[in-house]
Amino acid sequence: MAIILGYKVVERAPLFSGEPPIQNGEHPPANRSIVRGNCEFFLSVCVSTCLSLCLPVYLFICSSVRPKVRFSRIPCKPCRLRRCQEQGMSTSNFQFNRDILKRILPRSVEIFVGKPESVIFCDPSSSQKTFIDIQNLVDTTRNILKNGAESPLTGRNQLQKLSNGFGGFTSQLSVRVLGTMSKDETVDCWEYYITTTAKWLNYFDEFKLLEDEMQLKIALSIWHVWGRLEKHAITAILRKQKLFSDRHIIVVGRNVLVNLETFEYDHTWLTKYPPEQVEFFTGVKSLELYEAVDHLIDLEPTQVELTYMLAQLSFHYVGKRFQGEILKITEKFQQILSDDLHEYYVKELEKPRYSERLAKMMKVNNIIQKHVREIRPKAELARTFDIFSVEFSHPEVFHDTGF
């Protein structure tokens, strides 16, 4: 049994133990009560309390209080303070910020957004937006689809025709390296991928059988996933050609190269927050970029295989996004192209066992699909907390792009 006195503990020995009292200089036995005091007041309290309980009491008394007592072991607080001062302790040389716990408050949502909690979800009608009108780009895309393919359609099947059309875009590569990117370069990338995707679709016979508005809807929906795989493929081709060896250098559009470790992106048109605070939402330096390129370098897909990967990724995405009639159409497209790919392996390459290679191709597509799915919650958070200060005339065109 223990009796708590202030901040000291008195262990109770058996009552009426009958043991003789301890002599000066001796240690008390383990089963006897011990009171450790820091001052005469505390000692008097301990003694009076123990005596009232008929307990034998043994005291370790500070030598400063009773100098003649030889079994003192624990000095009182004033004695300890005096010893520290004798060793040079002073209030003038305290060391701060050595706590294990950080004193800096974490960046909460209120601190990050710059609004109090009471108004954080209010309609930000007063915030200034960068308005981007892409009506001319939409009209240009519509005209491209109406005019059809730029060159005659050649090929034994539809996959081969699509492949020949894609080869016309990548036959001559002239790249340039950018140190900085801003709004103008970003818009140029959008224009390049939207128009190039429409030109590529013109080489697909089944696609051209659709109504004009359906063609436009599909083209304006798949351009960003098509562009993701295309820029990864071009990056892999350039690295295989030893044009550069740094894996941080990638193609971002219209044969433009950037070094993800050194280039600077001007976010002033996109958000009011510093770049390091919105990098989570923009995904400029996503690991998906490196992973997909590395797999493409190991795979070394032929032009026909890369064309199939582009088509499968694009039609699978748009079918899952819209469901219904578009899903049925895109499933038919994928079946036609799958049959053409089988014919390519069996008859042209004479390689009937191609399942392992096909699995590697789908692994790259799955990486991109996973990245697109990860963008959605980030974009929702950005819209909820008004992170991006940009508004589009056709927001459906930029669905799942992160903006």
Distance, CA of 169 to CA of 192 (rounded, Å): 11
- Is 316 part of a structural domain of the chain? yes
Q: Are residues 228 and 342 in the same domain?
A: yes
pLDDT of residue 315: 98
Average pLDDT (217-238) is 94
272, exposed or middle or buried, with CB in 10 Å at 0-12, 13-18, 19+? middle
- Is 27 part of a structural domain of the chain? yes
pLDDT above 70 (res 188):
yes
Average pLDDT (25-53) is 42
- Is 350 part of a structural domain of the chain? yes
> Higher model confidence: residue 311 or residue 257?
311
Q: Are residues 86 and 138 in the same domain?
A: no
Q: Are residues 71 and 171 in the same domain?
A: no
pLDDT band for position 48 (cuts 50, 70, 90): very low
Name the helix (H) or strand (E) containing 193: helix 183-201
pLDDT band for position 49 (cuts 50, 70, 90): very low
pLDDT of residue 87: 85
What is the pTM for the complete model shown?
A: 0.69
pLDDT of residue 14: 41
pLDDT of residue 10: 40
Average pLDDT (346-360) is 93
pLDDT band for position 312 (cuts 50, 70, 90): very high
pLDDT of residue 53: 42
Q: Are residues 80 and 157 in the same domain?
A: no
Domain ends where: 90, 122, 138? Answer: 90
pLDDT of residue 154: 81
Domain ends where: 58, 90, 122? Answer: 90
Q: Are residues 271 and 386 in the same domain?
A: yes
CATH of the domain at 375: 1.10.565.10
Is beta strand 59-60 parallel, antiparallel or unpaired with respect to 35-36?
parallel
pLDDT of residue 402: 82
Range of weakest confidence among 62-71, 176-185, 325-334, 375-384? 62-71
pLDDT of residue 118: 53
pLDDT above 80 (res 42):
no
Average pLDDT (71-92) is 77
Distance, CA of 249 to CA of 263 (rounded, Å): 10
Share of the chain above pLDDT 90, in %: 40
Say if residues 6 and 26 touch (Cβ distance below 8 Å): no
pLDDT band for position 161 (cuts 50, 70, 90): very high
Tell the residue number behind the tokens 């089963």, with chain if given.
31
pLDDT above 60 (res 73):
no
Q: Are residues 70 and 135 in the same domain?
A: no
- Is 125 part of a structural domain of the chain? no
Mean pLDDT of the chain: 78
- Is 122 part of a structural domain of the chain? no
Q: Are residues 190 and 308 in the same domain?
A: yes
3-class secondary structure, 339: helix
Return left, alpha or beta for 157; rule: phi > 0 is left, psi -120 to 50 is alpha, else beta. beta
Q: pLDDT of 230-251, one tens digit each?
A: 999 999 988 888 888 788 888 8
pLDDT of residue 120: 53
Q: Which domain holds residue 260?
A: 130-398
- Is 100 part of a structural domain of the chain? no
Q: pLDDT of 125-142, one tens digit each?
A: 546 788 899 999 999 999
Q: Are residues 301 and 382 in the same domain?
A: yes
- Is 281 part of a structural domain of the chain? yes
Q: Are residues 84 and 179 in the same domain?
A: no
pLDDT of residue 52: 43
- Is 374 part of a structural domain of the chain? yes
φ, ψ dihedrals at 392, nearest 5°: -110, 150
Share of the chain above pLDDT 70, in %: 70
Domain count, the chain: 2
Q: Are residues 84 and 135 in the same domain?
A: no
Q: Are residues 85 and 157 in the same domain?
A: no
Other CB atoms within 10 Å distance of the CB of residue 165? 22
Most confident stretch, 81-95, 151-165, 323-337: 323-337
pLDDT band for position 224 (cuts 50, 70, 90): very high
Q: Are residues 161 and 40 in the same domain?
A: no
Domain ends where: 90, 118, 150? Answer: 90
